[in-house]
């Protein structure tokens, strides 16, 4: 599959399995993960991450971090979630099937909290571009996975965004979760297993191209 074919065939695929009967981990995506991470690494970025995010083991200037759980880790997380009486939506059903979960954060440049009290993050151009770069890294992973026939899904993370779960996953509070990216076994490996594949809710809502693109010329005069 070439790059354009992969981009055009990418789609949200939520592989949902009965959380009481999680799939055995196959390890079948091990060979693809390095490529998927390389695709993330190939994303552009404009500004280096703020120095406060530098960690001896993770000192890259890229404004994203990827915290990766393998299949075993997904099943362990599923177990922990199920011991707690929490509303977790479809997350358990996907943790029961996933071979990898890439919890992808972006690294906000801190501002002066008194400038924007109660704000989630400092609303600067630099932070907007940090989010943009981290989003490009995620999209690259989705496309690489698609090119290799790996069903994938970009979730906001649901309960995993909450402080308790971020702590359990040892994700620094200074990082903001941008996506919990699920990678599922390739479809040919689960032809007879009971499951459902749910599409993205907004898939058919994108509208015609003419509703979001326009071709234009600049005005010579100041309007």
Ligand X SMILES: Cc1cc2nc3c(=O)[nH]c(=O)nc-3n(C[C@H](O)[C@H](O)[C@H](O)COP(=O)(O)O)c2cc1C
Q: Does 155 bind ligand X (CB under 6 A)?
A: yes
**33 vs 142, beta carbon nearer ligand X:** 142
Per CB under 6 A, which of residues 156..185 are in contact with ligand X?
A: 156, 179
Nearest approach in angstroms of CB 203 to ligand X is: 4
Cα 68 to Cα 71: distance, rounded to the nearest angstrom: 10
Query: Binding residue for ligand X (CB under 6 A) from 51, 192, 203, 214?
Result: 203
Nearest approach in angstroms of CB 11 to ligand X is: 4
Q: Does 202 bind ligand X (CB under 6 A)?
A: yes
Nearest approach in angstroms of CB 41 to ligand X is: 20
Longest dimension (CA), the chain: 67
Q: Does 154 bind ligand X (CB under 6 A)?
A: yes
Query: Binding residue for ligand X (CB under 6 A) from 51, 201, 214, 217?
Result: 201
Helices (H), the chain: 3-9, 33-41, 71-83, 91-95, 125-147, 163-168
Judged by CB under 6 A, the number of residues near ligand X is 11
Query: Binding residue for ligand X (CB under 6 A) from 11, 58, 161, 186?
Result: 11
| Strand 176-183 relative to strand 14-16, pairing | unpaired
Nearest approach in angstroms of CB 137 to ligand X is: 12
User: In angstroms, how far is CA 115 from the centroid of its own chain?
Assistant: 30
**49 vs 94, beta carbon nearer ligand X:** 94
Closest residue to bound ligand X by CB: 200
Cα 217 to Cα 25: distance, rounded to the nearest angstrom: 55
- Stretch in the footprint of ligand X (CB under 6 A) among 35-43, 64-72, 162-170, 198-206: 198-206
Query: Binding residue for ligand X (CB under 6 A) from 6, 12, 16, 176?
Result: 12
Cα 199 to Cα 73: distance, rounded to the nearest angstrom: 25
Rounded to 5°, the CA angle 65-91-55 comes to 15
Nearest approach in angstroms of CB 8 to ligand X is: 11
Provide the β-strand partners of residue 66: 104
Nearest approach in angstroms of CB 135 to ligand X is: 7
| CA distances to 14, 145, 154, 200 from 187, in Å | 12, 12, 18, 17
- Round to the nearest angstrom and report the end-to-end CA distance of the chain: 47
Which two tokens mark 119?
A: 């704000």
Provide the binding-site residues for ligand X, judged by CB under 6 A: 11-12, 154-156, 179, 199-203
């Amino acid at each position: 599959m070439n790059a354009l074919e992969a981009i055009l065939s990418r789609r949200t695929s939520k592989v949902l399995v009965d959380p009481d009967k999680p799939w055995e981990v196959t390890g079948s995506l091990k060979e693809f993960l390095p490529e998927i991470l390389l695709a993330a690494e190939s994303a552009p970025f404009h500004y280096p991450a703020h120095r406060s995010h530098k960690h001896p083991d993770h000192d890259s200037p890229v404004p994203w971090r990827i915290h990766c759980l393998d299949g075993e880790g997904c099943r362990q997380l599923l177990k922990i979630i199920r011991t707690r009486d929490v509303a977790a939506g479809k997350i358990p059903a996907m943790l029961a099937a996933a071979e990898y979960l890439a919890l992808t954060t972006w690294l906000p440049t801190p501002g002066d909290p008194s400038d924007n009290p109660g704000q989630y993050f400092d609303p600067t151009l630099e932070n907007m571009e940090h989010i943009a770069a981290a989003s490009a890294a995620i999209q690259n992973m989705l496309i690489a996975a698609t090119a290799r026939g790996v069903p994938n899904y970009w979730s906001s993370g649901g309960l995993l965004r909450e402080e308790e779960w971020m702590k359990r996953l040892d994700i620094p509070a200074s990082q903001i979760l941008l996506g919990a990216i699920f990678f599922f076994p390739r479809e040919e490996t689960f032809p007879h297993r009971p499951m459902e594949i749910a599409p993205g809710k907004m898939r058919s809502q994108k509208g015609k191209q003419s509703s979001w693109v326009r071709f234009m010329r600049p005005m010579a005069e100041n309007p």
